């Protein structure tokens, strides 16, 4: 009967096309659409109000008012960011360093939080307040001065690490606060102040020996088994000194020498170039000694300070990114940490190297080609060996 749907819908209408089309789109019968009213409307009052723009606008305004009222009410829920109970002893640093810390870090890591206006509006305020509280728990420059100089320096070193590895300021914070990042010049000033390899510092007060407690400062060690595992359940791993080397570290920040060793699983992963994902059961030991200078710039390992372990068990240590962290301190190998969640401290420090599976050490390369090459071969002695570029790793010899 009708050639098209439109033909059917508009056949008896004399209203202009666009309006009638709009009505048709709402699937109203032609008669009802032409004379809408509660009695004639097929949906009754409800249907008519749906269609009435005024009613809809009024409803929208009402909803908006409700949302606004709720948002205003939410502003009343404000966790306090008043000064914490800790003693107010500011970190002891020169003015130019303090200025940088105030400008770049104090907004969260101090008892004088600086929130811009949009930080003040809930729910953003709740995120900001939670961040500030968490930041203070980790590091509070307003109270850091109450700790030993070694600990203050260690905190500053860690701060520089977090900044240069891009972990601080937090990405989310930078999104909300553009231009708040630490400038290269500011980072250089912090580094120049810390000057880890300044000769006058050797041998000096070390954070590690301070952390190790008095027993570490006694005569040369003969450490036995510790009294128990780490509070998070990570066991002491005997035999770590017989593991193969991962790397060695000269720590100017705390005047220690360290040897990092790895168990067979870890070494195999290096040989197989499996990184960054370390396999289940891989374990490292970071063994630290106080660095002793003979007065001529030759440093040798002195007192044994501690051994730290990382052992990969994805399920057992699921709460710590799959790593069991442990530290056994001093000659008595005292397990470090209070409570099973002490490893939050470890994780916080290791977080900037998340892309390396939370492992700081860059292992010395090992591989099938290196293994084969390490056997005595005629090419090592022959005159042809003097030509450059022989050996699969020749190209890798450049200084980083």
Partner 1 sequence: MRLRRTSTAAAAALLLAFLCGCRQKMAEGDLYDLPAALRSGLPYPVLQWKIITTEVDRNTCTMATLFGDDAAVEAARAGIAYPAGAVLGLVTWRESEDPHWFGARIPGRPVSVEFVIVGRGVDETFTGTPWREAPGSMAEQIRQMRPTPVP
The verdict on 360 binding partner 1 (CB under 8 A) reads yes
Query: Where does residue 27 fall: left (phi above 0), alpha (psi -120 to 50 degrees), or beta otherwise?
Result: left
Between residues 125 and 243, which has the closer beta carbon with respect to partner 1?
243
Residues 147-206 that bind partner 1 (CB under 8 A): 157, 160-161, 164-165, 191, 194, 196-197, 199, 202
Between residues 80 and 224, which has the closer beta carbon with respect to partner 1?
224
Q: How many residues does the chain have?
A: 400
Q: How many CA atoms lie within 13 A of 208 on its CB side?
A: 27
Q: Which stretch binds partner 1 (CB under 8 A): 2-10, 32-40, 112-120, 361-369?
A: 361-369
Q: Which stretch binds partner 1 (CB under 8 A): 71-79, 113-121, 319-327, 357-365?
A: 357-365
Closest distance between partner 1 and the C-beta of residue 332, in Å?
11
The verdict on 220 binding partner 1 (CB under 8 A) reads yes
What's the angle, vertex CA 169, arms to CA 123 and CA 146, rounded to 5?
100
Q: Which residues contact 289 (CB under 8 A, 6 or more apart)?
A: 256, 257, 258, 301, 302, 303, 304, 305
The verdict on 379 binding partner 1 (CB under 8 A) reads yes
Closest distance between partner 1 and the C-beta of residue 176, in Å?
22
The verdict on 251 binding partner 1 (CB under 8 A) reads yes
Q: Which of 90, 253, 308, 343 binds partner 1 (CB under 8 A)?
A: 253
The verdict on 396 binding partner 1 (CB under 8 A) reads yes
CB of 161 closer than 8 Å to CB of 352: yes
Rounded to whole angstroms, the Cα distance separating 391 from 370 reads 9
Closest distance between partner 1 and the C-beta of residue 257, in Å?
6
Residues 313-342 that bind partner 1 (CB under 8 A): 333
The verdict on 276 binding partner 1 (CB under 8 A) reads yes
The verdict on 81 binding partner 1 (CB under 8 A) reads no
Closest distance between partner 1 and the C-beta of residue 38, in Å?
37
Tell me the per-residue interface mask from 49 to 78 with partner 1, x by CB under 8 A, - otherwise. Answer: ------------------------------
CB of 201 closer than 8 Å to CB of 288: no
Closest distance between partner 1 and the C-beta of residue 377, in Å?
7
The verdict on 397 binding partner 1 (CB under 8 A) reads yes
Q: Which of 80, 297, 315, 318 binds partner 1 (CB under 8 A)?
A: 297
The verdict on 393 binding partner 1 (CB under 8 A) reads yes
The verdict on 229 binding partner 1 (CB under 8 A) reads no
The verdict on 376 binding partner 1 (CB under 8 A) reads yes
The verdict on 296 binding partner 1 (CB under 8 A) reads yes
Q: How many positions of this chain bind partner 1 (CB under 8 A)?
A: 87
Rounded to whole angstroms, the Cα distance separating 351 from 344 reads 10
The verdict on 280 binding partner 1 (CB under 8 A) reads no
Residue 123, burial from CB neighbour count under 10 angstroms (0-12, 13-18, 19+): exposed
The verdict on 10 binding partner 1 (CB under 8 A) reads no
Nearest-CA neighbor of 332 among 169, 171, 219, 199? Answer: 219
The verdict on 259 binding partner 1 (CB under 8 A) reads yes
Q: Which of 13, 301, 316, 347 binds partner 1 (CB under 8 A)?
A: 301
The verdict on 245 binding partner 1 (CB under 8 A) reads yes
- Three-class DSSP labels, 101-164: HHHHCCCCCCCCCCCCHHHCCCCHHHHHHHHHHHHHHHCCCCCHHHCCHHHHHHHHHHHHHHHH
The verdict on 354 binding partner 1 (CB under 8 A) reads no
Q: Which residues contact 155 (CB under 8 A, 6 or more apart)?
A: 91, 139, 144, 147
Between residues 132 and 307, which has the closer beta carbon with respect to partner 1?
307
Residue 158, burial from CB neighbour count under 10 angstroms (0-12, 13-18, 19+): middle
Closest distance between partner 1 and the C-beta of residue 288, in Å?
10
Q: What DSSP character marks residue 218?
A: S
Residue 170, burial from CB neighbour count under 10 angstroms (0-12, 13-18, 19+): middle
Query: Where does residue 187 fall: left (phi above 0), alpha (psi -120 to 50 degrees), or beta otherwise?
Result: alpha
Tell me the per-residue interface mask from 129 to 148 with partner 1, x by CB under 8 A, - otherwise. Answer: --------------------
DSSP annotation string for 274-286: -TTSPPTT-EEEE
């Amino acid at each position: 009967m009708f050639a098209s749907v439109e033909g059917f819908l508009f056949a008896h209408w004399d209203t202009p096309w666009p309006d009638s089309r709009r009505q048709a789109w709402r699937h109203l019968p032609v008669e009802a659409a032409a004379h809408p009213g509660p009695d004639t409307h097929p949906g009754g009052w409800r249907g008519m109000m749906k269609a009435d723009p005024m009613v809809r606008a009024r409803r929208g305004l009402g909803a908006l008012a409700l949302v606004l009222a709720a948002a205003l009410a939410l502003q009343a829920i404000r966790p306090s960011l008043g000064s914490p109970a800790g003693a107010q002893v500011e970190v002891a640093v020169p003015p130019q360093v303090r200025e940088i810390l105030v400008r770049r870090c104090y907004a969260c890591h101090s008892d004088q939080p600086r929130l811009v206006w949009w930080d003040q509006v809930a729910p953003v305020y709740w995120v900001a307040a939670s961040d500030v509280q968490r930041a203070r728990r980790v590091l509070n420059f307003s109270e850091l001065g109450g700790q030993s100089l070694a600990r203050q320096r260690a905190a500053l070193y860690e701060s520089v690490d977090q900044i240069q590895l891009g972990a601080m300021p937090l990405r989310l914070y930078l999104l909300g606060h553009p231009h708040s990042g630490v400038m290269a010049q500011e980072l250089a000033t912090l580094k120049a102040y810390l000057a880890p390899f300044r000769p006058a510092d050797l041998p000096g007060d070390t954070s590690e020996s301070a952390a190790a407690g008095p027993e570490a400062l006694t005569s040369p060690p003969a450490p036995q088994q510790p009294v128990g595992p780490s509070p998070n359940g990570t066991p002491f791993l005997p035999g770590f000194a017989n593991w193969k080397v991962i790397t060695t570290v000269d720590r100017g920040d705390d005047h220690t020498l360290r040897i990092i060793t790895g168990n067979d699983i870890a070494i195999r992963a290096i040989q197989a170039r499996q990184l960054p994902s370390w396999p289940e059961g891989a374990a490292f030991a970071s063994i630290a000694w106080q660095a002793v200078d003979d007065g001529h710039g030759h440093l040798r390992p002195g007192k044994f300070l501690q051994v730290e372990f990382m052992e990969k068990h994805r399920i057992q240590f699921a709460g710590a990114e799959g790593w069991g962290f442990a530290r056994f301190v001093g000659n008595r190998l005292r397990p470090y940490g209070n409570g099973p969640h002490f490893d939050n401290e470890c994780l916080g420090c290791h977080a900037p190297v998340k892309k390396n599976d939370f492992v700081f050490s860059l292992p010395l390369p090992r591989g099938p080609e290196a293994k084969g090459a390490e056997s005595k071969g005629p090419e090592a002695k022959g005159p042809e060996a003097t030509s450059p570029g022989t050996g699969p790793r020749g190209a890798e010899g450049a200084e980083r």
